[in-house]
Chains A and B, each alone.
Chain A
Amino acid sequence: MPWMMPNILRNLFGTPATRKYPFESHQYWAGSRGRLQIDLAKCVFCGICEKICPSRAITKYGHKDDPNVTIHYNPFACIYCARCAEKCPSCAIYILEGHAVPADRKITYGREDVPFSEEEIP
């Protein structure tokens, strides 16, 4: 097919369209939503994030004035919509560029990013 020739030649002699993956990783655009991090030192435990989370990935345990109050975050339920980061009054929730690495167990994170519960993936 003669009209395909320019495209065929371009493909034969051009640079590859794919990335050489392990040596060259994807560059995320500014503002892309990859991972979520909750800074409990800044958190005022108002509970807004728990209320607005569409997938119920964030749970608050205890009352705001209770010394043992904590927030648990389950990244396996999270859909990375970043509504919590948008609405947080104390800016304690960050959304970071770049996706989380694959995991072999489901971990729910508690205070100081200490795993609160673990669940093996079958």
Chain B
Amino acid sequence: MSKITFPFGPQHPVLPEAIQLSLTCEDEKVVEVLPVIGYMHRGIEKAAERNPYVNNVFLCERICGICSFIHALSYCQLMEELMQVEVPPRARYLRVVWSELSRMHSHLLWLGLLADSFGFESLFMQCWRARETVLDALEMTTGQRVVQSSCVIGGVRRDINADQARQLREMLAGVKAQIDAVLPVFQKDYTIKARTVGKGVLPKDQAWKLGAVGPTLRASGWAWDCRSLGYAAYGELGFEPVVENDGDSYARTMVRARELVQSYELVLRALDALPEGPLAAKIKGVPPKGEAIMRTEQPRGELFEYARGNGTPRLERLKIRTPTFANIPALLAMLPGCEIADVPVIVLSIDPCIACLER
């Protein structure tokens, strides 16, 4: 049988961003995949060397629009580690609230996109309707919907007062009711199962060796989540990673569906335990000579940041390894052997964020 190579992307209905996969197929079966990336590279690591370190918070936040808060959070924690700053407890809890709200809106967005990828339009709209309320909650508590700018080095800029906390709980109760209406569809619906069960299987040992992170790794049976490191206030909130064992697209959907509910519970727990106190610690001086590493859990997996200071207001080096960068080799291993019609669903199942990938 002769082989044919054709491009998947960079413009494809299922991809919100530009990435090309060069697929080599035999009949309807994919035999080889090569990624072609570089459409979204913006040189953010270089730009971070030019800016004073305080301004990089706003730069890092703009790496990606979906996980913007967690990008800002990891940069702030990285600088706090480098400069030895103690963050007040209230700020740590508020950071958890906003991180988990970001995770909720990211997972709802992804569940909607998944439904859209096999043409389930009404489910897509249901998911995004629930997401809208989460974005409203973010606007109410931080001042903006997508790029919140509420995290600064040393703490946070905005407080959630008792009245806002009450409103937030009401809004989240509404979101929970909507989630409860859509999640059973993902779990039980015949069409969704037919399109996801057994598609793009990533066995347990291979998932680890290929460097997969986040829900992609946890769907293959690894209880591996950076939130277990206990950064911000996760150590005090009692956090358990969500694990599924099948390693297929369905398992990855279930991990995200269960994480959605878990995030909802974490927000409520963090609001319940919100301690009193100041919002931010004072920052003095500039980053000293030295290195620091920070790892946080984004909706898509582990975010790794490395910084090297040199005693000036500008960093010598800032390296950001985003979760999608780590998940690409796993994606390339999942695709060979699948049908062309399943490629969109499998590509989506790692939740690719190309703006993150190329920074």
Contacts and interface: CB of A to CB of B under 8 A. Distances in A.
Whether chain A touches chain B in the assembled complex (some CB pair under 8 Å): yes
A32 interface: yes
B88 to A, nearest CB: 18
Contact of A29 (B62, B139, B147, B188): B139
A115 B129 CA distance: 40
Size class of the A contact interface (CB-based, 8 Å): 20 to 34
Given A17-B129, A54-B51, A54-B59, A82 B143 contact: yes
A15 interface: no
Interface stretch (A1-9, A68-76, A102-110): A1-9
Given A54-B59, A55-B58, A7 B143 contact: no
Given A4-B185, A7-B181, A81-B149, A32 B55 contact: no
B140 interface: yes
B145 to A, nearest CB: 8
Interface in A76-96: 79-82, 86
Size class of the B contact interface (CB-based, 8 Å): 20 to 34
A33 interface: yes
B181 A32 contact: no
A31 interface: yes
Nearest to A28: B139
Contacts of B189: 1, 4
A54 B140 contact: no
Contacts of B184: 3
B206 interface: no
Interface string B48-87: 0001001101110010000000000000000000000000
Nearest to A33: B143
Nearest to A18: B129
B307 to A, nearest CB: 17
B304 to A, nearest CB: 24
A32 B143 contact: yes
B41 interface: no
B42 interface: no
Interface string A5-46: 011001100000100000000001101110000000000000
A1 B190 CA distance: 9
Interface string B8-50: 0000000000000000000000000000000000000000000
By Cβ-Cβ distance, the 10 closest A-B pairs, closest first, are: A54-B55, A54-B58, A29-B140, A81-B149, A33-B143, A7-B181, A17-B129, A32-B143, A29-B139, A31-B143
Interface of B: 51, 54-55, 57-59, 62, 122, 126, 129, 132, 136, 139-140, 143-144, 147, 149, 157-158, 181-182, 184-185, 188-190
13 contacts: A1-B188, A1-B190, A3-B188, A4-B185, A7-B181, A10-B181, A29-B143, A33-B143, A54-B58, A54-B59, A79-B147, A81-B149, A82-B143
